[in-house]
């Protein structure tokens, strides 16, 4: 599945009050792996950033004067994002700004161009209720190196968020190598593997191990009043349960 981790920087906090996007950073994941097919835009917002916003991102108004308008990169951005799952931290904020920019151009809202949006802030709040779940806090908690993040930057933050997302969803990884039906290793779906072709050798217990096991069973006998399962089960049944006498144990079908 194609996923795009996206982040924006803005002139302020309110798209409805006229604040604009000044930077967009996008990082592509295929099969949960970074591809390097990223996108990064600085944009002229046609207005100055608020003083508080400047303290966050450090991108000066003068630096943005000669940068392209959102209108000139919109088609490239939408083509790049088309149909993908978009991963954003505090998605409502970024999507509101993107929606407003698209509205100015007479284009459909952001969700009309992408497959879906996943909010990692909502994920983190569910996983770590009552804790700080900012990007920096999650980097610290999940062991993601954010030492280069002295100021917010859309591309750097998207790269950090990609690592955070992989760690947040670590439990989704399969134990087998991901192989799609067509042999494409980027599909993110583990194929069923017939394990009957594999056998494992039977490693018999040593005399010392057998003696130690007998001692444990004796102690269980005393504790259970002589009702230890291994003592009451016929020896032939126990041997049969261990597998055929060929010295191998067939593995079950996946």
Distance set, CA 95 to CA 52, 82, 84, 98 (Å) = 21, 15, 15, 5
Rounded-to-integer distance, Cα 35 and Cα 142, Å: 22
Distance CA 1, CA 32 (A): 8
**Other CB atoms within 10 A of residue 166 CB:** 18
Strands (E), the chain: 2-10, 21-30, 33-34, 39-42, 85-88, 116-119, 199-201, 248-250
CA distance 140 to 156: 16
Beta partners for residue 85, in sequence order = 3, 116
Q: Is 89 noted as a catalytic residue in this protein?
A: no
- Rounded Cα distance between 75 and 42, Å, is 15
Task: Name the helix (H) or strand (E) containing 122.
Answer: helix 120-127
The 10 Å Cβ neighbour count of residue 190 is: 15
CB contact at 8 A, 21 and 14: no
Are 16 and 101 spatial neighbours (Cβ–Cβ below 8 Å)?
Answer: no
Active-site pick, 57, 89, 113, 152: 152
Q: Which residues belong to the active site?
A: 152
């Amino acid at each position: 599945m194609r996923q795009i981790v996206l982040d924006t920087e803005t002139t302020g906090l309110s798209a409805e009050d006229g604040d604009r996007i000044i930077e967009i950073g996008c990082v592509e994941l295929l099969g949960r792996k970074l591809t390097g097919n990223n996108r990064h835009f600085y944009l002229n917002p046609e207005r100055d950033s608020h003083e508080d916003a400047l303290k966050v991102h450090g991108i000066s108004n003068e630096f943005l004067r000669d940068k392209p308008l959102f209108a000139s990169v919109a088609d490239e951005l939408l083509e790049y994002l088309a149909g993908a799952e978009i991963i954003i931290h505090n998605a409502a904020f970024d999507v509101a700004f993107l929606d407003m920019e698209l509205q100015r151009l007479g284009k459909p809202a952001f969700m009309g161009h992408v497959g879906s949006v996943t909010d990692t802030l909502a994920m983190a709040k569910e996983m770590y209720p009552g804790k700080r779940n900012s990007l920096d806090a999650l980097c610290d908690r999940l062991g993601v190196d954010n030492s280069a993040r002295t100021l917010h930057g859309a591309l750097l933050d998207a790269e950090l968020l990609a690592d955070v997302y992989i760690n947040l969803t670590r439990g989704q990884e399969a134990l087998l190598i991901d192989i799609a039906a067509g042999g494409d290793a980027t599909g993110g779906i583990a194929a069923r593997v017939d394990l009957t072709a594999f056998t494992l050798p039977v490693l018999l217990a040593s005399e010392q191990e057998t003696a130690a096991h007998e001692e444990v069973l004796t102690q269980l006998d005393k504790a259970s009043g002589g009702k230890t399962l291994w003592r009451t089960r016929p020896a032939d049944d126990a041997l049969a349960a261990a597998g055929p006498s060929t010295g191998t144990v067939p593995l079950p079908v996946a």
